[in-house]
Homo-oligomer: A and B are copies of this chain.
Amino acid sequence: MRGRLTIALDAMGGDTAPQMVIRGANIARQRYPQVDFLMFGREGEITAVMAKMKRLRDVTTVVHTEDVVRSDDKPASALRTGRNSSMRLAINAVQDGRAMGVVSAGNTGALMAMSKFVMKTLPGIDRPAIATFFPTLRGESVMLDLGANVHCDAGNLVDFAVLGNAFARTVLNIPEPTYGLLNVGSEEIKGHEALHEASAILKNAALPGHFVGFIEGDDIGRGTVDVIVTDGFTGNIALKTAEGTAKLINELVRRTFRSSIVAGFGYLLARPALRKLRKRVDPRRYNGAVFLGLNGIAVKSHGGTDAYGFANAIGVAVDLVKQDFIDQSQVVLHSLAQEDRKTEATAF
């Protein structure tokens, strides 16, 4: 798509909002000169932070509201009582066409509940999923669901495969993505029933790309597949375990270089290369989880990120808008639905 595009921002979401959100928007403004911002939150606080950011002010419209969703609000109560919250108004802006996507670093559950309520899901999709991409040995992979749905049946897993597939094709630019279901591999354990049902369905589905069947936990870092499909409980634990292990190894490497003077010299020499590596695996670089399956673009930033991380979350939303992600997903879903009808017609 060409021309200007507008992103709605929940200025009040995140541990250090609104500073972090506004500074993040200011970084994103330089990267994406075609973007305008529609910023929702407490005007006084926002304009105070923006006082010295003239160029950001030029592309930003601030919409005042006092109400804020708190990080410990339950999704249902946020949905009921947060109708005038900065988060809700930002979502509404996407629904009524004033913005093409929304980014918030606030309460994940509330953002999901409100987005689903306001934007609805894509035709044929029962429950949206949270997805993110991360570095692997082969490049980058996407995993979903990361926590929106603790209990998933086979139908949900198949939906996630379809959505992850569309994401890999449009955002990661992989025309024929490989995808697999995360399972346990030992002989004695068969995995859950839902996984076996989903596997049987996906083997016969006419999805673009290649279904490799079951994959295991160590296939995530290896980059065995482009799309890792799993339920929200398992996905959340796998992602956080990977983050924790990466931190562990980084810290052990750091301690190793400090363990002797000679190793310290070695570190000095290797520092530029190690900095490049740190940049590649920087979690802020992969900040911005996408709510897939909604009939609109909603991106969740980590609440504890900084301006650089928040700018990356804005970047994810901009990418999705530019790639016409919603339309592209609908094309895949529509062709699958046609396929289903054909199969049913043949069956009778």
Contact = CB atoms under 8 A, between A and B. Distances in A.
A107 B266 contact: no
Interface in A33-71: 71
Contact of A245 (B150, B236, B245, B272): B245
B188 A217 contact: no
Contacts of A217: 236-244
Contacts of A281: 249, 252
A182 interface: yes
Contact of A189 (B188, B236, B238, B256): B236
A221 interface: yes
Copies of this subunit: 2
A75 B189 CA distance: 10
Contacts of A262: 269-270, 272-273
Interface string A232-265: 1110111111111111111111001101101101
A85 B253 CA distance: 45
B246 A249 contact: yes
A186 interface: yes
A187 to B, nearest CB: 5
A131 to B, nearest CB: 15
A137 B253 CA distance: 11
A268 interface: yes
B247 A273 contact: no
A153 interface: no
A147 B220 CA distance: 18
Interface string A188-212: 1111100000000000000000000
B247 A221 contact: yes
Contact of A267 (B189, B222, B232, B266): B266
